[in-house]
Amino acid sequence: MDEDATRYPIDGVLDLHEFRPEDTGSLVPEYLRACRAEGILRVRIVHGKGSGALRQSVHAILERRPEVARFHLAGGQSGWGATIAHLRPAGDEQSK
């Protein structure tokens, strides 16, 4: 394990403000994998509102992941600053 790596809690909430945007492509799939391993099937990904570029990147990643059953903007106070991904249980990677 990298000495500079920080342990990130696997609690179903991934706040991308804490990471570099260029890490999103590898970070989101790895976090989804870790959540499924813990039995967490509803994941909140906080990408912020900003220009919408990070949200678009997150949605593009989610669209390609077979473990993602569906996803939508969080709504409520988060508005379009967060996305909720609903995951299939481990071992259930059906084609969309």
- 3-state SS record for the chain: CCCCCCCCCCCCEEEHHHCCHHHHHHHHHHHHHHHHHCCCCEEEEECCCCCCHHHHHHHHHHHHCCCEEEEEEEEHHHEEEEEEEEECCCCCCCCC
Tell me which of 51-55, 71-75, 80-84, 91-95 is least confident: 91-95
pLDDT at 6: 65
pLDDT at 45: 97
User: What's the chain's average pLDDT?
Assistant: 89
Domains of the chain in start order, with CATH, are 13-87 (3.30.1370.110)
Q: Above 60 in pLDDT, residue 26?
A: yes
